[in-house]
Structure 1
């Protein structure tokens, strides 16, 4: 049974009289009451330290330590907003994120202090959470209670989060999430998944990212469930953590599930308390492997990071589909070039898409959107909301019954020989290649026009066998001839971002001129050979002849 508060502050207040364990991290355990008390102390400190007239924003540059959820709760009580700062950013980019969100206070820890060396951060006060000075600052507020100090009365429309969403180009945008939207998201997941007070939410994804806060921490708070933290995601430590904490629920993004599956199997893998994993981009093949190995159901969901559209899985959702639009949403799959709705997908008996060029389009919310905008970025707002519609930037197709299938990001569309292809569709096929722990498909420019398909395969310590891979491709009945990778880059481990998503920008930028050996098909046959220095030189000459060499290395 979840809480009924309309703001995150209401949910924090509700913890005050609860003396059950509420927050676990390594050897540290705090009760729900201690979490609420710690949040109240930090809220009072925040109110006193924030300069008059400053935006009520506090930057948090921390790993997943107890201080992170404590400051989220503190911001809610104070009527302030947390800007999650990504510790993988460096130099001027890191400074830009802090200054763009107008943070006058920055919470960090000693391990991250080197990141701040030499940065120009005028007007920003830095608090180091694992320092004696910090403890001394907090001490006078030890007896604070929720509601004792606030910059403004918390209400549903009050800013709560500023979380950066990355694109393929340009600086990350800081999406706004209000207290009301965050509390509503938590309550919705509680209802949808039956999360209860006895659940333990394992937060192993980084908390500067929306997934961990919106889909993991928020429903735990709404349900009165406990939270268990992992400082940084570890595939090898995943199962041990789950058992040690008694975790029943976790969220994931990107390739985290693949990394867990790549760990050595144990006879007792199914002996664990987990009942549910919720996230994105695991893929149907890996979800089935995870359920078979660990006895845990993975539910693939979709929610635009900015909150503009959501797809809800129902019991009758077919394999491979995400679900249907949530009640009240008017979602459509639209051709962005014409603004017209795409035709329904034609699927064969095996669920393979037969008319991808026509059926795949951008998912658009034509109804009322909960999108709350980006911080100080009207250009990005205008690009996201056009003609009164919210454009997600994500590719989907819809079957005749209205079920929606994710087909990649709009910037992951390839145009090969005048045919539009979705990288995610090709990835889903290549994911069947058993030696590959992970697959990424992306475009490299064609020497004459359009794109060519390049694939990176994460093979661990196994060597790439071009003959075996060619035979695999030839056996895939739904792999059209234009989908065949022209270039293949075998790697030991897939390069990923801080949120465990494939680092597509780096892959596209490197293309076939990368530090790893590359194999390619010089002609139309499904036969791969090494891209030797001589072959690469001749290929680059073709780009120069067509005046397209400058396109190589594009973002």
Structure 2
């Protein structure tokens, strides 16, 4: 087969991840790259088989076959994913931003009987007793780990799947993927081998994955972005993966060139980091053809394509598997696509379940009726959502019924805000948690962020609600201002006045300037942290002062501007919150 042909039908028709791993056996092309290390597909399959044999030896009888993995993006991560696939076990990817009691809770909640980690991560486990004994904590860069593996070297994938455990079925659990946990403890979404194999096949086909492709995995592998959209399509298409321990904007292009990477996955904040690096004359000197991810925004995607010559393809698919959108020919800029054939997706009022009116857009694609068109995306048909591990309440909430007569019973509720245009294309408008209510009008933070993204002096923008001292919310924006740059309030006010799609309630009342926006471990803007700090933060804050006797939050008056938010302003404003018994809302 020519090296640039699509994946063979045998692997693309696999029903399980185990089948895809077995298909690597005998393929002596390079399958993984990490620094100077090169592993063939054959070596990856053999390494996975050895680890699967060790896994079956170490797992106690009568417990869920769950493995916690607390690693950066190192070769051991895909090896253990493949080992779990062969052995019929599930991997719970652990978030390294969590500590001690939190990690212990995550391990206990997912019933992990084995933990795979590295010496650099051991301090994160300090504190309370872990829910598994020391002999079932494997440290991959410790010599004892190699000694444990040694007796199993030479095991083949067929030795595992034809052994006592048998061949895993499509319904066999494969992943336990934690949600962000922005409110309460993180939930672990279940993903079966069949669903992950199908997702990999779908993306491999849509993206045209070829055997000579190299997928650069720079997003953390404990999250679905890297595994579902990066690793799985490579496995289906027979492509190689290149591993980046942690995302680095400065190392991105050097890595891409060194590894010959043709594809990468991203989140919006990572794209902003890349755009913030100093331009260079060789920015287009690389083999990248495409990026695939979420929340880059139309403006940043256009800037990325212009600077690096790489098209970013925005996708949408919930980690839980309940809903997905596909880009089709004719998808307009800013839209994510339409549902797959047979899917019944709709934008509905989250309170009543009633479908909302279609969006009206001006010739430039700007939304004109956001207040009536933006709602929650639901899947009213059959979904592939497989539930949350040991959390029936959260599972029921995702598939809850709506209305007095059970309107929407059995629907999958995504928790994401969307609008749908007249042609039937869906547009992302933010998370339901990122909705603001200003003067009784509902606003989506993402829509305001898309406007602020045009403000050239800022490298990034995040919009979130702060409680109004009287009723509802006010709009606050955090702007990432590069080192050495100063915020010009008059220039920012003029920018806002020039935006034709900035609604009368959308102008920020508060602006926080900071060197860089805070991000989560998955490189998404940490809006929860921003929201909790509000205007009580260590960074400079600018504001357009309130009129205490007027409406709680009105649009920026014509001709006004922002001024520094002083200690005196803060004291007076906090007194107003106390006067109206709303000070407690600042700590939500």
- TM tier, shorter chain? over 0.9
Q: Distance in 1 between the 2:49 and 2:435 partners?
A: 48
Q: How far does residue 522 in structure 1 lie from its aligned partner after superposition?
A: 0.4
Q: Distance in 1 between the 2:100 and 2:465 partners?
A: 29
Q: Distance in 2 between the 1:327 and 1:45 partners?
A: 43
What is residue 138 of structure 2 aligned with on the other side?
127
Q: In structure 2, which of residues 439, 442, 448 is the aligned counterpart of residue 420 of structure 1?
A: 442
What is residue 417 of structure 2 aligned with on the other side?
395
Q: How far does residue 266 in structure 1 lie from its aligned partner after superposition?
A: 1.1
Q: In structure 2, which of residues 139, 151, 166 is the aligned counterpart of residue 140 of structure 1?
A: 151
Q: How far does residue 166 in structure 1 lie from its aligned partner after superposition?
A: 1.7
Q: Distance in 2 between the 1:91 and 1:112 partners?
A: 11
- Alignment check: 8 A CA contact 1:324 1:402 kept: yes
Q: Distance in 2 between the 1:310 and 1:192 partners?
A: 13
Q: How far does residue 147 in structure 1 lie from its aligned partner after superposition?
A: 2.9
Q: How far does residue 146 in structure 1 lie from its aligned partner after superposition?
A: 0.3
What is residue 434 of structure 1 aligned with on the other side?
456
Alpha-carbon displacement from aligned partner over 1:468-522 (angstroms, at most 9, x marks no partner)? 1111111111111210101000000010000000001100000000111111110
1:191-340 to 2 correspondence within 5 Å?
Answer: 191-340=205-354
Q: Distance in 2 between the 1:194 and 1:152 partners?
A: 33
Per mean C-alpha deviation after superposition, the further-off stretch among 302-311 and 159-168 is 159-168
- Alignment check: 8 A CA contact 1:58 1:103 kept: yes
Q: Could you tell me the TM-score, scaled by structure 2's length?
A: 0.93
1:12-411 to 2 correspondence within 5 Å?
Answer: 12-124=21-133, 125-149=136-160, 151-386=165-400, 387-411=409-433
Q: How far does residue 167 in structure 1 lie from its aligned partner after superposition?
A: 4.4
Q: Distance in 1 between the 2:241 and 2:500 partners?
A: 45
Q: Distance in 1 between the 2:52 and 2:159 partners?
A: 9
What is residue 549 of structure 2 aligned with on the other side?
none
- Alignment check: 8 A CA contact 2:466 2:473 kept: yes
**Partner secondary structure for residue 368 of structure 1:** coil
Q: Distance in 2 between the 1:172 and 1:179 partners?
A: 22
**Partner secondary structure for residue 138 of structure 1:** helix
What is residue 514 of structure 2 aligned with on the other side?
491
Q: Distance in 2 between the 1:356 and 1:326 partners?
A: 25
Q: Distance in 2 between the 1:438 and 1:377 partners?
A: 36
Q: How far does residue 152 in structure 1 lie from its aligned partner after superposition?
A: 4.5
- Alignment check: 8 A CA contact 1:277 1:296 kept: yes
- Alignment check: 8 A CA contact 1:486 1:520 kept: yes
Q: How far does residue 92 in structure 1 lie from its aligned partner after superposition?
A: 1.2
Q: Could you tell me the TM-score, scaled by structure 1's length?
A: 0.99
Per mean C-alpha deviation after superposition, the further-off stretch among 523-532 and 110-119 is 523-532
What is residue 481 of structure 2 aligned with on the other side?
459
Residue 547 (str. 1) matches residue 569 (str. 2): no
- Alignment check: 8 A CA contact 2:101 2:127 kept: no
Q: Distance in 2 between the 1:349 and 1:496 partners?
A: 34
5+ long unaligned stretches in structure 1 = none
**Partner secondary structure for residue 205 of structure 2:** helix
- Alignment check: 8 A CA contact 1:168 1:411 kept: no
Residue 474 (str. 1) matches residue 508 (str. 2): no
Alpha-carbon displacement from aligned partner over 1:101-136 (angstroms, at most 9, x marks no partner)? 111110000110111122311324210000110000
What is residue 518 of structure 1 aligned with on the other side?
541
Q: Distance in 2 between the 1:249 and 1:261 partners?
A: 17
Q: Distance in 2 between the 1:152 and 1:533 partners?
A: 68
Q: How far does residue 96 in structure 1 lie from its aligned partner after superposition?
A: 0.7
- Alignment check: 8 A CA contact 1:362 1:391 kept: yes
- Alignment check: 8 A CA contact 2:107 2:131 kept: no
Q: Distance in 2 between the 1:439 and 1:497 partners?
A: 15
- Alignment check: 8 A CA contact 1:436 1:457 kept: yes
Q: Distance in 2 between the 1:119 and 1:320 partners?
A: 47
Per mean C-alpha deviation after superposition, the further-off stretch among 213-222 and 119-128 is 119-128
5+ long unaligned stretches in structure 2 = 1-5, 401-408, 547-555
Q: Distance in 2 between the 1:28 and 1:98 partners?
A: 31
